[in-house]
Chains A and B, each alone.
Chain A
C-alpha cells in the first residue's frame, strides 16, 4: 500500500531553538517537583489519618524530618514562594495540613542560601501556621499578607516581619531574635517566650501566661514585661488596646 506520508520523507526535524528560558523553566519545574515530593513524604510520615496534633515533640520531629529532606535540595527564595502558591492551589498537592506545611516552609526558609527572604502571601486563600519556626540568627524573613498561628515559634535569633496580622501563639517559645507584626496578633502572644522582642503595630488579643523572658511591645508601649513589673519574670494579664 502507498505510504500516505511520502510527501514528508525528506523533512528534517529541526528542534525549534532551545533557549535559556527553556532550561530555566525546566530546572525550576524539577526543583518544584522535588520540593513537593519532599513535602508529600513528610506529610505521609507525620500525619496519621489526616490528623496532626500540635504537640511539642511532634513539631520538633516534623521539623527535623523536614530539614533532613530540604538540605539536599537546590532552591531559592522564589521557589519557596511558589511552593506556598502550589500549596494554596492544591492541584499537585492532594491535601494540605497547615501544621506540617508551615513547618516544611520554615525548614525551606531556614535552609535557604539567601539571608533575606521575602514571601508574598497576600493573595493566598489559606493561611499557614508555624511560619518562621526556629528562624536562625542572621536570617530575615518578611511575610507579606496575613498568616496563621504559631508564627515565629522557637525563633532562634532571626528577624521575622509580618506585613499583615498574625494568629494565636505568635512567638511561642521564642528564644531570641525579633518578630514584627504590622497589624494584630491573637491570643497567647509570646507564650513560653524566653527572650527576644515582639513588636505589634495593632491590637494584641491576649498575652501568654507563661513568659519567662523577652519583651512585647504594642505600638510604642511595652506590654511585657508590664511597666509596673519591669524586671519581674511573671506576666501581667492579657492586654488589649
Chain B
C-alpha cells in the first residue's frame, strides 16, 4: 500500500473505530481474517466509500437509521442536522414534490419553470427511512434516482456524480408493504442492525446521546442556505464541498478525527478498484453465480418455472431456488470484496473477502423454494432467516469449491484455450459451472 493510500486507510479505520467506540455501540458479529467487525457498521462504511446502496433491516429502535447517519456525517463531512433534514421517510403521503423537488412558485407566477430541488436529491448522502412504508407506486417513483442518481422534475434533471444510499426497513407488520423486486435488486447489500445485548443496551441507556458532537447549528444553517440557493447544481456541488471542508476542519479540532474529502473518497475508490481478484476468488465467484442461475432443464432459473424432483442437480442450490440471480449481484460482490480487501490492507481479493461479502449481497436477491425455507427456518441461528440462508448457501458452495478448486480452475483454463480455437481437451466435472463453461464454448460465435 502506498503511503498516501496507507494514510487514507488509517483514517477510514479511525472513523470506524470512532463510531464503534462512541456512537454506534454494538457487538462484533463478523470475522474477517483475524478481525471482528460489526457487520452493519462495516458494510455501512463500505457503502459510503463505494457509492453503494444498502438496505438495513431490524426491529424498531435498534439503530438502523442512526448508524447510517453517523457514517454519512463522518465520511462526507456533513453536520448531523443537515443529514436529518435531508432524510426521506416512508409513509403513504409522500409525493414527488416532497422527495425530489418542487416548482419555485414565485418564479412560476412570473411564467418561469424553475425547480427547487430537495435536500435529498441534492446531497450525495441519501437516507430513506422505512422504505417499505412507501406504497409501491411511490417506490417506483424514486427508482431511477436510486439506480443512477438521476433526479428529474419538470423537465429538469440533476445528476449526482457521487452518492450513496441507505434505506431502512422494519420487519413486516401492519402498515408495511413489500419492497418491489426491481427496487430490492438495486440494493447492493442487506444487513441487520441487531440488538446489542442486555449489557451494551444498558450502557446505551445510561449514556446521554453523544451525537450532538456531530452537530453544528452554524454550519447546518450555512449548508441549508447553499442548498436552497437558486444556482446551477454543479456550482452548488463545489460550494458544498468547500463548506464541508470547513466543517471537516472544525470537527478535526473538536473530535480529533480526520474526515474524508471528495478527493479522498475518489482516491479510495480508485485504490479499491485497482485491487485484483486472485484466481481462486475469481473462480469461486463464478462457481457461486453458476449455482445460483443454472437450470439444466430450462437453461436458466426463472421465477415462473419449477424444475422437477429427480433433476441431476438436485443436491445443488439451483434446485432450491425460485428465481435467477441478476447481473447486479456480481457487480455488488466485486465492489464490496475489493472494498473489504482494501479495508484489510490486502493487495489482492481472496476467497476470504468474497465469502465474507457474499451473504450480504445475496440475501435480498434470492427467493428460495418453500420446502427449502421449511428446512432452514427452525435452525438455531443468530442471523435473520434471509441472511442465515444466504450464509448457509455460501458455505455449501464453498465446501464444493474447496474440494474441486483445482478442477474448476483447470476447466476455466482449458476453456480459455478452447475458446481461442486451440486443440485442447475441455475439462468436465459434476457441477453447474462445468455445464456453463461447456455452453459458453458451444455457443461462442
Q: Do A and B bind each other?
A: yes
Closest CB in chain A relative to B428 CB, distance in Å: 13
The answer to whether the Cβ of B279 comes within 8 Å of any Cβ in the partner chain is yes
Q: Which residues does chain B contribute within 8 Å of A4, judged by CB atoms?
A: 419, 440
The answer to whether the Cβ of B170 comes within 8 Å of any Cβ in the partner chain is no
Binds A, one of B318-326, B332-340, B354-362, B410-418: B410-418
The answer to whether the Cβ of B420 comes within 8 Å of any Cβ in the partner chain is yes
In angstroms, Cα B409 to Cα A12, docked, is: 9
Contact of B416 among A9, A12, A14, A16 (CB under 8 A): A9
Closest CB in chain A relative to B330 CB, distance in Å: 12
**B279 and A7 within 8 A (CB):** yes
Q: Which residues does chain A contribute within 8 Å of B445, judged by CB atoms?
A: 1
Closest CB in chain A relative to B128 CB, distance in Å: 36
**B279 and A11 within 8 A (CB):** yes
**A8 and B419 within 8 A (CB):** no
Count class of interface residues, chain A? 10 to 19
**A3 and B419 within 8 A (CB):** yes
Closest CB in chain A relative to B286 CB, distance in Å: 9
The answer to whether the Cβ of B66 comes within 8 Å of any Cβ in the partner chain is no
CB within 8 Å for A8 and B444 given contacts A3-B419, A3-B420: no
**B406 and A16 within 8 A (CB):** yes
How many chain B residues touch A (CB < 8 A): the figure is 20
Interface residues of B in 384-421 (CB under 8 A from A): 406, 409-410, 412-417, 419-420
CB within 8 Å for A7 and B282 given contacts A13-B413, A13-B414, A16-B406: yes
In angstroms, Cα B439 to Cα A4, docked, is: 12
Interface centre among A1, A7, A9 (most CB of B within 10 A): A7
Q: Which residues does chain A contribute within 8 Å of B414, judged by CB atoms?
A: 13
**B419 and A11 within 8 A (CB):** no
Q: Which residues does chain A contribute within 8 Å of B282, judged by CB atoms?
A: 7-8
Interface residues of B in 418-445 (CB under 8 A from A): 419-420, 427, 437, 440, 444-445
**B406 and A8 within 8 A (CB):** no
Contact of B413 among A1, A5, A16 (CB under 8 A): A5
Q: Which residues does chain B contribute within 8 Å of A16, judged by CB atoms?
A: 406
The answer to whether the Cβ of A54 comes within 8 Å of any Cβ in the partner chain is no
In angstroms, Cα B412 to Cα A5, docked, is: 6
Contact of B279 among A6, A8, A14 (CB under 8 A): A8
**B406 and A5 within 8 A (CB):** no
Q: Which residues does chain B contribute within 8 Å of A9, judged by CB atoms?
A: 413, 416-417
In angstroms, Cα B410 to Cα A142, docked, is: 49
Closest CB in chain B relative to A163 CB, distance in Å: 40
Name the residue on B nearest A4 (C-beta). B440
Q: Which residues does chain A contribute within 8 Å of B419, judged by CB atoms?
A: 3-5
Q: Which residues does chain A contribute within 8 Å of B409, judged by CB atoms?
A: 8, 11, 13
Interface residues of A in 6-26 (CB under 8 A from B): 6-9, 11-14, 16
**B440 and A8 within 8 A (CB):** no
Q: Which residues does chain B contribute within 8 Å of A8, judged by CB atoms?
A: 279, 282-283, 409, 412-413, 415-416
Closest CB in chain B relative to A101 CB, distance in Å: 32
In angstroms, Cα B413 to Cα A4, docked, is: 11
**A5 and B410 within 8 A (CB):** no
Closest CB in chain B relative to A60 CB, distance in Å: 47
Interface residues of A in 43-95 (CB under 8 A from B): none
Closest CB in chain B relative to A117 CB, distance in Å: 37
In angstroms, Cα B444 to Cα A1, docked, is: 8
**B406 and A14 within 8 A (CB):** yes
Name the residue on A nearest B445 (C-beta). A1
Q: Which residues does chain B contribute within 8 Å of A6, judged by CB atoms?
A: 416
**B413 and A11 within 8 A (CB):** yes
Q: Which residues does chain A contribute within 8 Å of B420, judged by CB atoms?
A: 3
Name the residue on B nearest A2 (C-beta). B419
In angstroms, Cα B417 to Cα A3, docked, is: 9
Q: Which residues does chain B contribute within 8 Å of A5, judged by CB atoms?
A: 412-413, 415-416, 419, 437, 440
**A3 and B416 within 8 A (CB):** yes
**A13 and B410 within 8 A (CB):** yes
In angstroms, Cα B289 to Cα A4, docked, is: 14
Q: Which residues does chain A contribute within 8 Å of B412, judged by CB atoms?
A: 5, 7-8, 11
Name the residue on A nearest B427 (C-beta). A13
Q: Which residues does chain B contribute within 8 Å of A14, judged by CB atoms?
A: 406
Name the residue on B nearest A14 (C-beta). B406
In angstroms, Cα B409 to Cα A4, docked, is: 13
Chain B residues proximal to chain A, CB less than 8 Å: 277, 279, 282-283, 406, 409-410, 412-417, 419-420, 427, 437, 440, 444-445
Q: Can you give 9 A-B contacts (C-beta < 8 A)?
A: A3-B416, A5-B413, A5-B419, A7-B412, A8-B282, A8-B283, A8-B412, A13-B406, A13-B413
Chain A residues proximal to chain B, CB less than 8 Å: 1, 3-9, 11-14, 16
The 4 A-B residue pairs whose C-beta atoms are closest, nearest first, are A5-B416, A11-B413, A13-B410, A8-B412
Known: A5-B416, A9-B413, A14-B406; 19 extra A-B contacts, CB below 8 A, are A3-B420, A4-B419, A4-B440, A5-B412, A5-B415, A5-B419, A5-B437, A5-B440, A7-B277, A7-B279, A8-B412, A8-B413, A8-B416, A11-B409, A11-B413, A13-B406, A13-B410, A13-B413, A16-B406
